[in-house]
Structure 1
Amino acid sequence: MFRFPRLGLFVAVASLVSALAGSASAAGPAADLSPVAMFLGADWVVKSVMGVLALASLLSWTIFVAKMFELRAANRHVEETIEALTRAPRLAEASAAFGRDHGPGRAMLDAVAREIDLSGPDVDRAGLEARVASHLARIEAAVAQTMSSGVGLVGTVGSTAPFVGLFGTVWGIMNSFVGIAKSQSTNLAVVAPGIAEALFATAIGLVAAIPAVVLYNRLVRSIGLYRNAVADAGAAVRRILSRELDRGGRVGAVRAAE
């Protein structure tokens, strides 16, 4: 999971912007250093950086909200699956309970049925259970991978946004020094707006990155809990198979029961 120890940097950037605004005000006519004015007055490269960071932050929140709704529905479905599997005494009853359901429970039962058909009537019990466990593990991994689609983008925003904002800051400060060289003036009232605009890009990068890190960690934990629930469903399927084998003594009895 990400850890983001740059909150101090965010405070320092905000303090420096405020100090520059105060110094500019003391040195001459007050400059408009509101966020909108700093964005409009920034260089086109810095504006592009700010725009990209704003879009990245919006995308992170969109993915988070969509995934949380998806996870809520998926967890509810898995809970119903586990309950149905727990109530079913045999594979046939469990299969009938799911009907045409397309969730992980249906996929697991279909995998068990295919493996029983492929194994034949006199296959070794331990071998059958090992192969079934392998199929169920792959289904669990596939379900978790599907649920994780798009989450990596949130983590990427959280890890790269500060550096993208820093690029905008470096570019803006470079332009400020070029302006100093052209105007041949070191008056802080002349320099402060350009530097404040440049530092504003870093502030936006941090504003985009900090929530993205929190959202990414929340999604990773939620997907992990969902995968554990799917694993519980797989364990229920293995228990049903084990009971069938105990009753019949061999796989042929299971095939006959189905």
Structure 2
Amino acid sequence: MKPYHSILLFMAIVAGAIMSGHYNYRRAEDAIVADMNRALSKTVAQCQEEWITPDTIRDYRRNLTMAALRPYATVQYYAVEDQGNGLRSCKMRWRHNDFNVQGYAHVSFASVLLLSDQRLSAALSLLAVVWGLFSVFLFMRQRRGKVVLGEMMLCEDDKRFYTLRHDAIRLTPMQNQLMQMFFRSETHELTKQEICDCLWPKKPDASATLYTLIKRLRPIIEEQGKLKIASGRGQNYRLSQSD
């Protein structure tokens, strides 16, 4: 699996966890408001007082089916829509006077979250963590036995070169051998004589052949590996990252 596949899957799992959490949070809010509406309707039908009293609020809380909601719930006179924070029921006409009342619950984000069903979101979040750790372990393991420079890496297992996205870089056998020499050098620097002795040991003067080899190799490694081969003093060649 390529790294970006793992990242895309991780992001998809995280997105699923967020969407699931948000959906169930909204469902919990709707369930709270529905419970407040039922409790207020029952309280209004049962009330005998002309005004809201402490007994009214106590009856309203008793009529709520969500026990965790009761400490935060109250009944108030209706003024205007959407005052402050908190959840509100529908407005209802008081039986004995010409005014409207409304159920109100000052619940925090955490309180609603605890009342919501977040099992799927929690499972997806755990899966994202496990997948992330597994991916890091997998890619660290894959990087073992690989020499990396710029955006190009040498795999010691098959002696081939790849991009950081694990796409194979197509090189001729001679180009591949030269790049291996560069990668295995601690300074990534080789003398002309070293290269010629290794690649063309029986050829008296391989300068022209080496020039052609490097000329054809440069555009490949510049485009796919962000690397360059520079000519140094004393007929040395140095492999380094492009600017």
TM-score by length of 2: 0.31
As a proportion of its length, which structure holds more helix? 1
Higher share of residues assigned strand: 2
Structure of greater relative contact order (alpha carbons < 8 Å, 6+ residues apart) = 1
